[in-house]
Amino acid sequence: MGLTLIEKIWQEHEVINQGDGNSLIYIDRIFLHERTGSIALKGLEKANRSVRNPSHVFCTLDHIVDTFPGRGDETLMPSGKDFIISTRSSAKRADINFFDLGDPKQGIVHVVSPEQGIALPGVTLVCPDSHTCTVGGLGALGWGIGSSECEHALSTSTLTVKKPKMMQVIFDGTLPVGVTAKDLILHLIQKFGAAGGTGYAVEFSGPVVKNLEIEARLTLCNMAVEFGAWTGIVAPDDKTLEYIANRPFTPQGETYHKALTHWEQLRSDSDAHFEAILSIDCETMSPFVTWGTSPQHAIPIDESIPDPAQETDPSTQKSMHRALQYMGLNPGTKMKDIAIDAAFIGSCTNSRLSDLRAASEVLKDRKVASGVKAICVPGSSLVKQQAEEEGLDQIFKAAGFEWRESGCSMCFFAGGESFGEQQRVITTTNRNFENRQGKRTRSHLASPATVAASAVSGKLNDANSLEIG
């Protein structure tokens, strides 16, 4: 029997099979950020251990840093400055690759790792952050870990991991105009549930995925964890190889050609076994938006909020009622009738150059609706620079968006900046949990184009309704 792509990468990195479903896996790359990475580095120092391979460890400042122009180490988050200073000091002592404020390589960890060539097809990459599966869009095997696991990986370049079951998700058909990778993953989670991928490693495939550009594949894999999956991956192809060529940390010369030969073989065998196979027809799909407090509370933007009374499962009814109460919404309300207070474009899900281009296409020659606070936070300093070279920042500013420095910003609330209590936000982020973007802030997940269209409409809307795209 053949092997899946994930099984092939697993087999190549398996140091020892422990015989109980767990394996000791070699870790190629470790990425840290200041919120949890500082804890792992400090833990090593306290235990008088060193980093085994400093050149394969990377650290950036993204989670806690302010994104206001002219920023420094000061943050709105209590004790945020201490995290930044501690991480900087520990990273320098450990002699790892460190992307400080002001460094053109600085940015959100899951944006930086692909664009710098740190994440590559077939490598194993871990980070103390749940959205590390983003790098699966390049054919890398990435997953999130805890701080104690991170210490172990730093000092040994290995981790004990329980092998997951294999799942294939096939997106069939042709993607309609205005529908994006964000809509694909929201549709998947809505259809099969936020726990639909629990216990599995997911390979995304099918003609729709094959036609996606690399940055869209990164978005798709980013939210595999919201599907409950251990990780998500897309087999590398010519688009992948073109994307990673000549990146700063991509191998060069003879080493590159040897790697290329290997990368070209990275795909699931035709007779590979998947314990579960899901298929979605994309022909009639529409832009999606969430209405509740879970990514699975998602529906096409042209539809109305579902009625909990139509659910037969008591626990589902209860969770829906709670979500509607928190969101201040009623069953039967048309999504496009819901007014918004704010719009946010950013996060490791949708803050890359292609995302900003899609939003700017909607915003060009338009204005953000009166009373709507709109913010754009590029995913990295490089993305910000490239966007400014194309003049995208001028489009955002002219429309009424704030243009920020790179960072995680208001993807999550940790005591720093917030949209405000009970403010309704249309956002390109990955989680719409209670209090995720601030105390009692109400978050609706959507694609960059949908967020931009909503910002200029003053209520939930999509780009197709504005006859764009």
Count: domains in the chain: 2
pLDDT at 416: 84
Residues listed for the chain: 469
- CATH number for the domain including 401? 3.30.499.10
Phi-psi region of 203 (alpha: psi -120 to 50; beta: other; left: phi over 0): beta
Task: Check pLDDT > 90 for residue 469.
Answer: no
Whether residue 124 is contained in a domain is answered as: yes
Each residue of 429-456: pLDDT tens digit?
Answer: 999 999 999 999 999 999 999 999 999 9
- State whether 308 and 450 are in the same domain: yes
Assigned domain for 7 exists: no
Element (H, E) at 94: helix 80-94
Q: Is residue 191 part of a domain?
A: no
Residue 259 maps to a domain: no
The CA distance from 227 to 250, in Å, is 30
Please compute the mean of the pLDDT values over residues 266-279 and round it to a whole number: 98
Residue 215: inside a domain, yes or no?
A: no
Sequence-distant (6+) residues with CB within 8 A of 459 are: 336, 337, 338, 339, 340, 369
Let me know whether 156 and 292 are in one domain: no
Answer whether residue 247 shows pLDDT above 80.
yes
Digit-coded pLDDT (tens) for 170-183: 999 999 999 999 99
The answer to whether the CB of 122 falls within 8 A of the CB of 12 is yes
pTM, entire model: 0.98
Tens of pLDDT along 201-213? 999 999 999 999 9
Q: In this structure, are strands 373-376 and 342-345 parallel, antiparallel, or unpaired? A: parallel
Residue 300 domain-assigned (yes or no): yes
* 461 and 449 Cβ atoms separated by less than 8 Å: no
Of 161, 185, 207, the one marking the end of a domain is 161
Last residue of a domain, one of 161, 190, 210: 161
Start-end of H helices in 212-345:
214-222, 238-244, 253-263, 314-327
Mean pLDDT of 219-233: 98
What are 345-373's pLDDT values in tens digits? 999 999 999 999 999 999 999 999 999 99
Q: Of 99, 132, 161, which closes a domain?
A: 161
Q: Is the Cβ–Cβ distance between 288 and 182 less than 8 Å?
A: yes
306 domain-assigned: yes
Give which of 403, 458, 351 is closest to 109, Cα–Cα: 351
The reported pLDDT for the residue numbered 152 is 97
Q: Would you say residue 414 has pLDDT above 90?
A: no
pLDDT(468) > 90: no
Q: Which domain holds residue 38?
A: 16-161
Q: Is the confidence at residue 339, as pLDDT, over 80?
A: yes
Q: Is residue 229 part of a domain?
A: no
Looking at the chain, the whole-number percentage of residues with pLDDT higher than 70 is: 100
pLDDT confidence band for 1 (50 / 70 / 90) = confident
Q: What is the mean pLDDT of the chain?
A: 97
